[in-house]
């Protein structure tokens, strides 16, 4: 076979050891047109080869599939997609991105790496929700509140407990400084490093599948468009709420002074994180949730235990309530509700509503561009993030749940690659973890035991209380547990649900175990450093077969 030779990168799923690497390498060498296997990496889930024209994507993927692994040949980047594709000729840009948050930025970076000319349009604050009013400010305030809480509440005798009210203006100022720093460093400075990306600081709407009309009257033309307009807080339709006014997450974190009392409506991730944060800073907090458990997306056992810990800290947590109306009073707010069949009124100085978010799809001309909307106003996309208009893609919170920044960034990258290079990459949310940053924190991935049974799987379930984890004992904090779910037939891990001080730092191992088909025995046999919370994963895996209370600290 004669050249030209080219380098091909293959994404390979399912490799777990050096034997897997050797097996995949041998399968690739036997494929038609393969000249050399450059690399096979199970940690990177990829392989690289040099190959000739006979080595098609189908033949390469087929060779790996015969060896028992899933493979996908990455699309080969072109130096300039615009010049290589006559369909994009005559446009101002190869790609126009409406929205400058996580999904939009990820799309812009990927497009720039592919050699495209990119227009990004953002009419609000650059960086979107996460850095400005979401993850970054909330998590730094949560840590500050934790530091305040630990001054008084810790498990160590001999360490004096000190009290004193937090300096909220100083804490808020530190939060604002961090937000400003990261907005500059991770958005403005990053944008400046990509000269092929042009930012337009204005609102825009789609005039067609190729035209973006700016608020100042200009129209940009592009070969493809990505809509990444994010989402906004959605207040539940409670009588009197709109007239009374309320705080959302952004305005709550920007308060000039801490209130004496606060009602939080909604006990999902955002509501509970902020409720506990304010309570630890000295605010009397009442949480109201319509569903039977807090963090209702999680295993009910997790919600029940977390509610107990929050109430032990002094929060009033009311689940299964029906709110009748909200009224503004001389001293603040009055919420009339039915709780366990009884009518009562809850009062507080301020009211925070955290009942979810809805995609930002109104006012962007989506319908006129042939973009279809689905449930709750989200943009309907296919597995390649393409909308009903084949030239328009969408990514991030605007396509609906799950609304996580890491999902938005991933989606933006997938949308840009598919828009510019063709549909070579599916939007795959297999083994997606989620974290609630309460204390103890909640982290989960995969299915619960009940969900497995509903799917026709007979599960094996182990639950390890943290009192069996040496790190938790040493830290004097044994709140919580590790719950693992395995397929009873294959013994592969299919779910993990963790309630622990640093649950978010533990969940990635479980996510990888599910994604790559690891079994109970794989987790039990893996090395886990002693006196880490992640050792709880190993101990929970051992709990399927053993009584860990009868194991020594160093038992393998």
Task: Give CATH 3.30.390.30 domain extents, the chain.
Answer: 434-550
17 is catalytic: yes
For residue 437, CA distances in Å to 287, 296, 440 come to 16, 15, 8
Query: Residue 413: exposed, middle, or buried by beta-carbon count in 10 A (0-12, 13-18, 19+)?
Result: buried
554 is catalytic: yes
Angle at 121 between CA 118 and CA 126, to 5 degrees: 110
Adjacency order of strands within the sheet including 6-13: 34-41, 46-51, 6-13, 70-73
User: From the candidates 1, 17, 311, 530, which is the catalytic residue?
Assistant: 17
pLDDT at 81: 41
pLDDT at 4: 62
pLDDT bracket for residue 43 (50, 70, 90):
low
**Residue 127 above 90 pLDDT?**
no
pLDDT at 481: 98
pLDDT in tens, 376-396: 899 999 999 999 999 999 999
Contact 445, 495 (CB under 8 A): yes
CATH code for 434-550? 3.30.390.30
Task: Give CATH 3.50.50.60 domain extents, the chain.
Answer: 82-232+359-421, 241-355
Q: What is the DSSP code (8-state) at residue 268?
A: S
516 is catalytic: no
pLDDT in tens, 177-215: 988 888 888 888 888 999 999 999 999 999 999 999 999
Task: Name the residue among 101, 122, 104, 121 with its Cα closest to residue 112.
Answer: 104
pLDDT at 147: 85
pLDDT bracket for residue 2 (50, 70, 90):
very low
Distance, CA of 432 to CA of 428 (rounded, Å): 9
Contact 405, 111 (CB under 8 A): no
pLDDT in tens, 250-282: 999 999 999 999 999 999 999 999 999 999 999
Question: What percentage of residues in the chain have a pLDDT greater than 90?
Answer: 69
User: From the candidates 69, 333, 393, 516, which is the catalytic residue?
Assistant: 69
The whole-chain average pLDDT of the chain stands at: 91
Q: Write down how long the chain is.
A: 556
69 is catalytic: yes
Task: Name the residue among 162, 159, 157, 155 with its Cα closest to residue 475.
Answer: 155
20 is catalytic: yes
pLDDT at 137: 87
User: From the candidates 135, 150, 384, 406, which is the catalytic residue?
Assistant: 135
150 is catalytic: no
Would you identify the CATH topology of the domain 6-73? Alpha-Beta Plaits (3.30.70)
CATH code for 241-355? 3.50.50.60
For residue 205, CA distances in Å to 47, 212, 353 come to 42, 6, 29
Poorest-pLDDT segment among 116-120, 152-156, 292-296, 457-461: 152-156
Q: What is the mean pLDDT of residues 54-66?
A: 89
Distance, CA of 91 to CA of 222 (rounded, Å): 5
pLDDT in tens, 457-496: 999 999 999 999 999 999 999 999 999 999 999 999 999 9
Domain 82-232+359-421 belongs in CATH node 3.50.50.60: yes
Kindly state the tokens that stand for 111: 């497009």
pTM of the shown model? 0.80
pLDDT at 82: 39
pLDDT at 554: 60
Q: Where are the alpha helices (DSSP H) in 293-370?
A: 300-312
pLDDT at 76: 59
**CB crowding 16-41: b at 16 or more within 10 Å, else e:** beeebbebbbebbeebebbbebeebe
User: From the candidates 120, 130, 253, 403, which is the catalytic residue?
Assistant: 130
**Residue 550 above 80 pLDDT?**
no
User: From the candidates 20, 253, 277, 421, which is the catalytic residue?
Assistant: 20
Distance, CA of 522 to CA of 7 (rounded, Å): 34
Contact 500, 466 (CB under 8 A): yes
pLDDT at 499: 98
């Amino acid at each position: 076979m004669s050249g030209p030779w080219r380098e091909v990168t293959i994404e390979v799923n399912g490799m777990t050891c050096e034997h897997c690497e050797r097996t995949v390498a041998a399968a690739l060498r036997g494929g038609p047109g393969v000249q050399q296997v450059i690399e096979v990496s199970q940690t990177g889930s990829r392989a690289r080869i040099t190959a000739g024209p006979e080595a098609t994507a189908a033949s390469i993927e087929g060779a790996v599939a015969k060896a028992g692994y899933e493979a996908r040949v990455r699309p080969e980047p072109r130096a300039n997609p615009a010049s290589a594709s006559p369909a994009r000729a005559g446009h101002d840009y190869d790609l126009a991105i409406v929205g400058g948050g996580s999904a939009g930025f990820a799309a812009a970076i990927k497009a720039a790496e592919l050699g495209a000319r990119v227009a990004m349009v953002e009419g609000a604050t650059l960086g979107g929700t996460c850095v400005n009013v979401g993850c970054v400010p909330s998590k730094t305030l949560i840590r500050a509140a934790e530091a305040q809480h630990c001054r008084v509440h810790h498990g160590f005798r001999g360490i004096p407990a000190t009290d004193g009210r937090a300096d909220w203006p100083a804490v808020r100022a530190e939060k604002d400084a961090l937000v400003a720093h990261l907005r500059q460093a991770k958005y403005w400075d990053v944008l400046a490093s990509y000269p092929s990306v042009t930012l337009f600081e204005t609102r825009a709407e789609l005039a067609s599948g190729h035209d973006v009309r700016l608020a100042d009257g200009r129209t940009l033309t592009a070969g493809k468009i990505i809509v990444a307009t994010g989402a906004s807080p959605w207040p539940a339709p409670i009588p009197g709420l709109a007239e009374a006014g309320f705080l959302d997450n952004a305005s709550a974190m920007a308060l000039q002074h801490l209130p004496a009392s606060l009602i939080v409506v909604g006990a999902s991730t955002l509501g509970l994180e902020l409720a506990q944060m304010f309570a630890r800073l000295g605010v009397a907090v009442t949480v109201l949730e319509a569903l039977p458990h807090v963090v209702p997306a999680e295993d009910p056992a997790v919600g029940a235990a977390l509610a107990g810990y929050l109430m032990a800290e002094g929060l009033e947590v009311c689940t299964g309530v029906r709110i009748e109306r909200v009224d503004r009073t001389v001293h603040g707010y009055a919420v009339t509700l039915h709780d366990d069949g009884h009518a009562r009124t809850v009062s507080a100085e301020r009211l925070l509503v955290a009942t979810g978010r809805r995609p930002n799809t109104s006012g962007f001309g989506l319908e006129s561009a042939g973009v279809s909307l689905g449930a709750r106003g989200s943009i309907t996309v296919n597995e390649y993030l393409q909308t009903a208009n084949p030239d328009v893609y969408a990514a991030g919170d605007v396509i609906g749940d799950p609304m996580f920044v890491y999902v938005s960034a991933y989606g933006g990258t997938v949308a840009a690659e598919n828009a510019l290079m063709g549909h070579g990459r599916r939007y795959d949310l297999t083994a997606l973890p989620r974290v609630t940053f309460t204390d103890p924190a909640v982290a989960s991935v995969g299915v619960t035991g009940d969900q497995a049974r509903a799917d026709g799987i007979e599960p094996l379930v182990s639950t390890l209380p943290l009192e069996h984890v040496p790190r938790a004992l040493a830290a004097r904090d044994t709140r919580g547990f590790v719950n693992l779910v395995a397929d009873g037939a294959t013994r592969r891990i299919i779910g993990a649900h963790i309630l622990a001080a640093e649950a978010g730092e533990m969940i990635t191992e479980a996510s990888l175990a599910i994604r790559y088909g690891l079994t109970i025995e794989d987790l039990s046999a893996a090395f886990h450093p002693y006196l880490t919370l992640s050792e709880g994963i190993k101990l929970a895996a051992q709990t399927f077969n053993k009584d860990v209370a009868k194991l020594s600290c160093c038992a393998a």
